[in-house]
Structure 1
Amino acid sequence: MLLRNKKKGLLAGKRALSSQKKQKVLKPLRARQLIRRFHVLLKNKTQLAKRLEKIWNCKLESDPAKLIKEHSPGLFKIFEQARLHTIETLLVNKSTPSAIINTDSLQPDRICEELGKIEGEIEKRGGLELYQAASVQGQSSQRGGDSSKKLVEWLKELGYNKKDAVALEIGCLNSRNLISTCGLFSKVVKIDLHSQEPDILEQDFMERPLPKSADEQFDLISCSLVVNFVPDPCLRGQMMHRITQFLKPYSQKPYLFFVLPLPCVINSRYFDNDRLSELMRALGFECIRHHESHKLAYYLYQWERRVSDELKFPKKELHKGAKRNNFCIVIS
C-alpha cells in the first residue's frame, strides 16, 4: 500500500528486516473498517499538509511533525498536545468525522492541532503496521485476494514466453504470490512502502532511482491496488506518468498490470472506465484485457507509444450523485 511512516517522498529506501515480521490477524469486518478509516486519515493529513506548505512556502513531504518542530516550537507544542490528548481519550470504535471542513481557511495553529489529532489517532489505532497487516489479510489467498492470478491467467492466454523477462511489483504484500511463482519471469523485483517480508524491498516507488539503461527497466510492471491509496489525484497522475519510465522501450511492447477497487470506475463523480481509457491512451497504453469482479477492476495494458512530458489530464465532473465517491487521477 501507498503508506509510509516518517519516510521521504510520496509513496523510501531501506531494505526490509532480515527476519519476517509476525502479522496480526483481524476479523474481516474489523480489517475493512481499519482500511477505510486509515484511508480517510491519510487523505486529511495530505490536505492539511498542502495548506501548511502553501502558507509557509515549503515542502513537508511525509513527516509534517519534523518541519513543524523546526519551523515553530510553539506550533509543535500544539501539535504534540493534540496528539497526546487524542491517544489518551480516543475510543477507537467511536465514529469520528470523515473530513476536515473548509481546509483552505485554516490557519497554522489549527492545522497543527488537526495534524496532531490525526497522528494521535493513527497511533491509537495501532499504527501503520496494523493497517498494513489488515491490507495483507485483505489480499490473502484464503480470500481469493491474489490479484496476480488474473495477470498470470492472461499472460498464459497470450502465450507469453519472453526469455529472461523481468517484472516489477509495486506494493507487493506477499513474496510468494503467483507473479513470483508462476515461472514466467526470470526475476521479480518486489517493493512496498512498509515491507512485511525479507524478500520485499522496503522502498517508495516515487523515490526509486530512474533507470539509466534498458537493463534497469522492466518487461512488466504490476500496480495492483496501489494508486487508489495515494491520497492526492495529482500525485496519482505523477505515479502513472513515472511508471512509463521504468518500462522497457515501447518497441518491445512491455506490459502494465493495473488493478483498482471497482467503485473507482463505477461510482465516482470524476472517473469511470471511459475516462481511464482516455488517460491510458494519452500515456501510450492500449488495453488488451479487462475484467471486473464483484469488488475489483483488472486491466492489462501494453505500452505502444511514447508519452509527452507536457501531457495534461485535468479533473472533470462526469457523473452527479450525492453517494458517489471523489476518486480521480489528474496530470497537471
Structure 2
Amino acid sequence: MNKSSLIIIIFFTLVSFSCSKDNNDEPIFIDDVSLLTNYIYKTYNVSNSPNTVIDSTNFMISDNKIISSSGLNLETLSEKTSNYSYLNGKIDKIQSFSNGTLTRIQSFGYNTNEELTEYLIENINTNDASSSFERHTFTHTTDTIFSSWTRSNDGITFDEQVSDFKIVLVENNNRTYLETYSYLNDDTQYEISTYEGSFNILNESKYLILNNGNEVLSFENNYTTSNAVNYYNRILSNTYSRKNLMLLYHLQPSAINNINAKSISGYRLDTYESTWGNSFAEFEISTVPNNDNINVFTNFKTIISGNLFSRFSQEFIFN
C-alpha cells in the first residue's frame, strides 16, 4: 500500500459513549473557567491558497456532552447531521443522517456493572434501504478486556470474523496494551503505550509478531504535551467515560496524520512525531488561545518535503 493512501485524513466521525461520575475516571481540568457550548471540526483543501474548507462539522455541547452535530461539505454541498440520546446518564444511541436520510445507527449495551459490553453499528444503504452490521463485544475480566469484531448482513447472524483484541487498562483507565489478531491478514500485532502523569500520552510503540515468533517494531509515535486543558478529550471523556474511550480508541482511522492521541490526552498536544515510513512526514500543531489562555483554535498540519500535504482544525466555542 502506498504512503499517500495510508496517510490521507479520514474524516473522524465523533462517536460518543457514556459519562462516568467517578472522579478517578476523569482528568482534573485546572483551566475550566468557561462553559463549552460547541466544538467545530474542519478539513481543508490545501491545494488552494489560501486553504479553503472542505468539511465543517459543528458538535453541540451541553454539560460537556455532545447532544447533536451538523455538518456541510462545501464542495459537494452534502449535509450531515447526528442526534445523540442517553439512557440513565450513558450514551445509548447515535443516529446519523445524510441530506435528511438516515444512514447510520450506533447503539451501546452495558452489563449490570455499567460496563460497556457491546457497540453495534448499522450502516444503511439509501439506495435500497438494506443494512449491513458491525458488532464489537467486550468481555471484562480482572486484568484484561477481550473484544471481538464481527460483521453481519441481517443483524442476527454475525458469522464474518474481522479481528480479536486483548486490551489492558491500568490506573486512570489508561490503555497500556492492545493486542490485535486479524482474520484477514492472519497476523498478530500489539501496541504498548506509555503516559506521563495521570493522563498524558508520551509514546505508542507498535509491534508485529512474525510467523517464527520474533517480534519486530513496526513504528512508534511520540508526543509532548503542555499544561493546558485538552478540551477535545474533555468532551469525549464526559460523553464516553474515559474507560470506554480507551476501549474504542483502536477503532479510530489508522491514518497517521489523523493524530488519534489528541482524543485521549488530558492535556493539549504540543508536538507529534511518527517513525512510520522512515519519518517522511513532519507534523505541526499550533494553538491560538483566548484572553483566559484557554485553547480555542488548533491547527494540525502534515508536511512532506516542505510542502503542506493535509490540514484539519479544532475550534472550541465558549459562551
Instruction: Tell whether the structures are fold-level matches, with TM greater than 0.5.
Output: no
Structure number with the higher helix fraction is 1
Sort the TM-score into its range (normalised by shorter chain): under 0.3
Structure number with the higher strand fraction is 2
